[in-house]
């Protein structure tokens, strides 16, 4: 079967977040899916198969890290929609049946894809004991992002603090279900982005995720409220880096970005 590696939330190869994508006739057993994801060894590998016509969704979609299945993944959904469009496997908007409900990916005229995702609920929480030491910085505030995202979102005082983070990854494992989203307002309003973030997910086998679509379902409402605008751009400041355009619509968050296929090969097992 064909296997593709796609750089998502990127307009050029070797940027953004790489994801494996496999289009199947049906889902094999979970152990096989997990083994393939471990072999691919990117943050997520997406597995999709077509559904019968006339239902609420067009394709079934699941996502696996090298260590576990996850409930929501933005960049691998974008990568899958890109593969469906670029190969002609699906035309127009595609509805994915997932563990987080039906997610819609819409191709845009400029070549980007817009994802329609559920907005993460943000609940203020007390700063967990030991987080400051593990993160290596003192956040202004902390928020739980709900069960679908499963992260702790923390705001730092300045963008330079985000870039300077060198956390104790083992120490971070104690403070959330999936990981930590660290964010700050952009230092330069003319820099082309409104806020900056980095995401650390050692609990699911990802020390630092290059660009995290699902995290932006929490970042978008957080910064939209503070900046007074529904349309924003976030920069995820990992080594590969990537930008996510976001639009806040109450219980739904729209995430937009591009993707590039960098490997198209054959899986032999």
Catalytic residue among 44, 155, 159, 208: 44
**44 catalytic, yes or no?**
yes
Beta-sheet pairing, 141-144 with 151-155: antiparallel
> Distance between CA atoms of 85 and 263, rounded to whole angstroms?
16
| 216-to-83, 89, 121, 236, 254 alpha-carbon distances in Å | 22, 28, 12, 10, 9
- Residues with Cβ < 8 Å from 3, sequence gap 6 or more? 20, 21, 22, 40, 263, 265, 266, 267
Active-site amino acid positions: 44
């Amino acid at each position: 079967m064909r296997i593709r590696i796609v750089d998502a939330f990127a307009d050029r190869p070797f940027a953004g977040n790489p994801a494996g994508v496999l289009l199947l006739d049906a889902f094999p057993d979970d152990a096989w899916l997990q083994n393939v994801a471990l072999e691919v060894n990117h943050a997520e590998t997406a597995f999709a198969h077509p559904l019968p016509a006339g239902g609420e969704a067009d394709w079934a979609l699941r996502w696996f890290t090298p260590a576990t299945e996850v409930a929501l993944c933005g960049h691998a959904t974008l990568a899958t929609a890109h593969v469906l469009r670029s190969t002609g496997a699906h035309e127009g908007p595609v509805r994915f049946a997932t563990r987080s409900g039906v997610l819609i990916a819409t191709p845009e005229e400029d070549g980007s894809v817009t994802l329609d995702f559920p907005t993460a609920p943000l609940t203020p929480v007390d700063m967990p004991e030991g987080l400051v030491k593990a993160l290596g910085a003192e956040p202004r505030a902390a928020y739980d992002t709900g069960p679908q995202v499963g992260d702790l979102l923390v705001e730092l005082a300045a963008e330079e603090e985000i870039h300077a983070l060198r956390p104790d990854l083992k120490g971070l494992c104690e403070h959330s279900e999936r990981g930590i989203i660290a964010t700050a307002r952009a230092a330069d309003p003319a820099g082309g982005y409104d806020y900056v973030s980095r995401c650390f997910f050692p609990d699911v086998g990802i020390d630092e995720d290059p660009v995290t679509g699902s995290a932006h379902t929490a970042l978008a409402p957080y910064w939209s409220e503070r900046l007074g605008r529904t349309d924003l751009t976030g920069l995820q400041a990992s080594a590969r880096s990537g930008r996510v355009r976001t639009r806040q619509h109450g219980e739904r968050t729209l995430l937009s970005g591009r993707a590039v296929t960098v490997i198209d090969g054959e899986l032999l097992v």
